[in-house]
Structure 1
Amino acid sequence: MSTLLSSLATGLGQGAVYALIAVSFVIIYRATGVLNFAQPALLILGTFATSVFATQIGLPFWLAVVLGVLIIAILSVGIERVAIRPMVGRPAFSAAIVTVGLFIVLLVVAFRLFDSQPRTVGDPWQLQVFCLGGEATESFGVVGCTGGVQIYQNAVGRVLIALVVIGLLGWWLSRSKLGLAMRATSLDQETALAQGISVGRMFSISWAIGGGLAALAGALLAANGSVVQATDALFALVALPAIIIGGLDSLRGAVVGGLIVGLSMALTKTYQTTFAPWLGTNFENVVPYLLMLIVLLVRPYGIFGTREVQRV
């Protein structure tokens, strides 16, 4: 039971990061109708910026994260203005292809910045754990747990940060004038224009929020003492099954999908070698895509996605 609970806690922490990435995809998609495949590159650039501020300049971790998020948010606005705004009025597929090109360009930039050297953003939690129902032990300054449920503090921190950020974002979208304008734009751009809403401005804000969330997810991804390389940008692609499972246009679905993916991967990693070793190593990386296929067969629009009815 302790192993199960520890695995669930780890899965929730990982799922919280997936949820942040998935929400960043959904925010941009709802406002512009574009599935931004450049998000993984923005994630890794956010991690790089946070690393520079935290390890090279020596700023406190939380200040480094805030500055990294702001830089990537500004970069996202510039990308939207230069590369995406000219695609308005053209097929969504064309804009999606442009974001694929942006992903490649930004990933090359990330490789140049990383210079093939792994980086770290520091570890604000220092691999410390909560020991529930057992005896806490300490070795070389790291607290462990004997005979109880061991929950890493970074998992709890990821969940709390994701809940607060996504909760505040949801409140802002539903309560503020600007948030309501963004929601109106996502529902019908022409009607929003007729009501005096600057659709271009809403596009920029949505890209800024999406880029900032991706950068935050990247910082939290690396905030467990691990090193990060440019190739870790591919981590964000796991968010695609999450948003498809939850629903491509649903913020609630993005959160649920992210948590489902995180939990399924953690449980598979814990128990697959015991019950199904014949599936091979790293099978947990395949599980999100299997779940995605199952959901698509049952609910093609996702668990919380908007069902589209077409008359012919």
Structure 2
Amino acid sequence: MTTFVDNVLNGLALGSVYALVALGFVIIFKASGVLNFAHGSLLLLGGYLTAVLHDDLGFAGALALAILATATVAGLLDRFVLQRTGGQDAHAAHVQTIVTIGIDIVLVTDLARRIGGDLLSTGDPWGDSVTSVGSFTVADSRIAAIVVSAVVIAGVFALFRYSSWGLSLRAAAEDVEAAALMGVRLTRVRTLAWCLAGGLAALAAVFLVAFPAPGLERTTGQIALKAFPAAILGGLASPPGALAGSLLIGLTEALVAGYQSELHVLGEGFGDVAPYAVMVLVLLVRPTGLFGAKGAARV
């Protein structure tokens, strides 16, 4: 029972952080129709900036600057690279999706060169400390991940629901042409969406490399690929779906890792592909995702 609860807590922590990344995929897709394959490199950039700045600025200052810088880079990439490759139609979105692959290669190559073979610490205040409640033990970094992610996700949902930008984003996602005719500034809406997604990726990086993870390394950005099935699972245009899908993926990954010895018949590395296996199984039943609307394009 203790092992099960520990795995569930770890799964919830992972899922809440994956939700920050998955929301980035969803926000960008809703605003521009682009699947951002450069999201992992933005995550790596945010983590790298936090790691190299925390000695001079402290953890809080380094994280704040990393979030701001990553958000700015994401916004600039959209404004001055992607938006110059076409308009707002589906064909342009397909072209821009391909462009994000090139952006990812450039960013990852440069960051991997800078990081090399090192393991970098972000200087987080939780370190390797743990909290024990009865017979259960959970890393403080996991608790912080759940609490901070819950607060940030609630803020993002409030932004969607109550801000003028959120209303414009929802209108543009519903009908681009109608939104433009109603005065929605589509360029600004999508650039701000990219900025928000970049900031969320930088925040997620800090928790993904915290204890019990060894630290930031040049392959850290690949973790974003685990959040991609979460976004697909929930329905790529559904923020609530991204949250539900992320929690499902996080719990699946933690439980498979925790019971690996009992699941050895599935292969030693099954935990790495478990998120994708869940995604395929769900999409066989719900091709539009858990929260996908009827009549939506298949993901």
The structure-2 alpha-carbon separation of the partners of 1:62 and 1:223, relative to structure 1 and needing over 3 Å to count, comes to: farther
Q: Is the 8 A contact 1:8 1:263 kept in 2?
A: yes
| Structure number with bigger Rg | 1
Instruction: Give the aligned partner of residue 218 of structure 2.
Output: 230
**Which residue in the other structure is 1:138 paired with?**
none
- The equivalent position to 1:175 in structure 2, one of 139, 154, 162, is 162
Identity %: 37
| Cα RMSD for the two superposed structures | 1.5
In 1: Cα distance, 2:225 partner to 2:234 partner: 15
CA contact (8 A) 2:32 2:93 kept: no
**Match in the other structure for 1:166:** 153
Deviation at 1:307, TM superposition (A): 2.6
Kindly report which structure 2 residues correspond to 1:162-311, keeping only aligned pairs within 5 A, or say none.
Answer: 162-224=149-211, 226-273=214-261, 275-308=262-295
Identify the match of residue 69 of structure 2 among 71, 81, 86.
71
Letter aligned with residue 30 of structure 2: R
Match of 2:124?
A: 123
What is the rounded CA distance, in whole Å, between the counterparts of 1:306 and 1:85 in structure 2? Answer: 28
Deviation at 1:62, TM superposition (A): 2.1
Distance in 2 between the 1:7 and 1:232 partners?
A: 22
Unaligned runs of 5+ in 2: none
Q: Is the 8 A contact 1:124 1:223 kept in 2?
A: no
1:101 aligned counterpart, secondary structure: helix
Letter in 2 for 1:18: Y
C-alpha change, 1:196 and 1:51, in structure 2 (3 Å) is: same
1:50-97 superposed Cα distances (whole Å, 9 cap, x missing partner): 111113x2x221221111000000001110012210222434321211
Deviation at 1:109, TM superposition (A): 1.6
Instruction: Provide the residue aligned with 1:136 in structure 2.
Output: none
Letter in 1 for 2:276: Y
Give distance in 2, aligned partners of 1:43 and 1:37.
11
Check whether the contact 2:119–2:214 (CA below 8 A) recurs between aligned residues: no
For 1:123, give the aligned amino acid: D
Partner SS, residue 272 of structure 1: coil
Aligned pairs (5 A) from 1:101-180: 101-133=102-134, 148-180=135-167
* TM-score of the superposed pair, with normalisation by structure 1: 0.90
Residues 61, 309 of structure 1: CA spacing in aligned structure 2 closer, same or farther, 3 A cutoff? Answer: closer
Say which SS state the counterpart of residue 259 (structure 2) adopts: helix
Aligned with 2:132: secondary structure? Answer: strand
Residues 36-55 of structure 1, C-alpha deviations (whole Å, 9 max, x = no match): 10000000010001111113
Alpha-carbon distance in structure 1 between the residues aligned to 2:294 and 2:114: 43
Contact 1:22 1:242 in 2 (8 A): yes
Q: How many residues align?
A: 293
Of 263-272 and 215-224, deviating more is 215-224
The 2-side partners of 1:162 and 1:285 are apart by 23
State whether structure 2 residue 80 is matched by structure 1 residue 93: no
1:209-249 per-position Cα deviation (integer Å, ceiling 9, x unaligned): 01111111112212327221111211111111111111111
Instruction: Give 1:222's aligned amino acid.
Output: V
Residue identity in the other structure for 1:129 = V
CA–CA distance in structure 2, aligned partners of residues 241 and 106 of structure 1: 22
Single out whichever of 166-175 and 277-286 deviates more from structure 2.
277-286
User: What is the CA distance between 1:309 and its match in structure 2?
Assistant: 5.8
